[in-house]
Each structure stands twice: as structure tokens, then as C-alpha cells.
């Protein structure tokens, strides 16, 4: 029977440590189990670092001042749900301030950090959320781009001195 991962529901960190250890044990193997463990390890590391960075930005921009969560105000740092605080307040933070906070974080990042953690730390604060796009607008944009290409092609053909078929006109001299 296959071995199952026993989870301690109180600690996500224990789960991450367990998955990381199992993924390291499967390094170099090309089995389905190894691929799944690597994927789960990647996601666990990505989302852990993402939450850490969101907390950092909430604390750095001092969103705890306006937070409804009492623990945040007492600790003068983000102690609650960082995504919930970060999303609504980010539109009032100027872009240069965001860039300065990211630069400060990148300079403080140790050299031995993994690629996943570096990738997350390189993200800007607004990059933590996917931008939703209306599928109808996407179809409209594709149709508009296609129409523009066709129009440009017909205009190019009409302005082409060699004609739409690309053949050079035959010049006949009047002298015989």
C-alpha cells in the first residue's frame, strides 16, 4: 500500500518541511511521484514566500494603521491576512515608493536563497494578483487586430507600385 503524508493541521510549516524533504529524496528520478512532489514543493514554497512578501509590504507601507484587526495595530506589523490588507490600499502607494521597497527587499535577500524565493521577491506588490480580463473583450481585441492586419494588407497592396500580385509593370518604350 502506498505511503500517505500525515498532516498536522495546526502547522503548515511542518507540511512544507515534509514535502521539501520528500522532494529532495526524489531528485533525479523521472517517476510520476517525483514530478508530483516537485510540483507540490514548488507551490508550497511559492505561496509561503508570497505570503511572507505580502506581510513585508503591508508592514513596510504601514497598512497596520488602518487595519481593522487589533493584533496588527498592537504589533505595528501585519499579523492578519496580508492579501486582504494589501489589495485595497496599494492604489494609494506611489510607484516610486513601491520600487524603493522592492529594491530594499532585493538587497536584503541572501545569496543562498532558491530561485523560487528570488522570483517571488522580484515581484512588485500589485503582481501578486492576477488581472482578470473579460473574455468578451479578449475576443473583441483579437477580431480588431485581425481586421487591422487585413486592412493594412489591402492598403499595402494598393500602394505597392508593383501591384497586388507583386509583378513589376512592363515598361514599353514609345520609340521603335
- Do 86 and 139 fall within a single domain? no
> Using one digit for the tens of pLDDT, what is the confidence trace for 62-102?
988 888 888 888 999 888 888 888 888 888 889 899 999 99
Q: What pLDDT digit, counting tens, does each position of 119-135 carry? A: 999 888 888 876 666 77
The domain of 155 spans 133-163
Q: Report the domain count for the chain.
A: 2
d(CA 124, CA 89): 14
Same domain, 100 and 46: yes
Do 140 and 121 sit in the same domain of this protein? no
Question: Is residue 2 a part of any domain in this protein?
Answer: no
Residues 115 and 98 both lie in one domain: yes
- Determine, yes or no, domain membership for 48: yes
Per residue in 21-51, pLDDT (tens digit) is 888 888 888 888 888 888 888 888 888 889 8
Q: Answer yes or no: pTM beyond 0.85.
A: no
Amino acid at each position: 500500500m502506498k505511503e500517505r503524508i500525515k498532516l498536522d493541521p495546526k502547522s503548515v510549516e511542518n507540511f512544507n518541511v515534509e514535502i521539501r524533504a520528500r522532494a529532495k529524496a526524489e531528485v533525479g528520478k523521472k517517476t510520476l511521484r517525483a514530478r508530483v512532489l516537485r510540483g507540490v514543493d514548488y507551490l508550497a514554497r511559492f505561496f509561503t514566500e508570497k505570503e511572507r512578501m505580502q506581510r513585508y509590504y503591508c508592514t513596510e507601507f504601514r497598512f497596520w494603521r488602518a487595519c481593522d484587526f487589533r493584533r496588527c495595530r498592537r504589533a505595528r506589523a501585519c499579523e492578519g491576512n496580508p492579501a486582504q490588507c494589501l489589495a485595497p490600499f496599494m492604489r494609494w502607494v506611489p510607484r516610486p515608493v513601491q520600487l524603493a521597497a522592492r529594491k530594499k527587499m532585493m538587497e536584503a535577500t541572501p545569496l543562498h536563497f532558491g530561485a523560487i524565493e528570488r522570483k517571488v521577491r522580484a515581484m512588485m506588490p500589485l503582481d501578486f494578483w492576477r488581472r482578470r480580463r473579460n473574455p468578451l473583450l479578449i475576443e473583441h481585441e483579437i477580431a480588431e487586430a485581425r481586421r487591422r492586419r487585413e486592412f493594412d494588407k489591402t492598403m499595402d497592396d494598393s500602394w505597392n507600385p508593383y501591384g497586388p500580385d507583386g509583378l513589376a509593370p512592363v515598361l514599353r518604350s514609345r520609340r521603335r
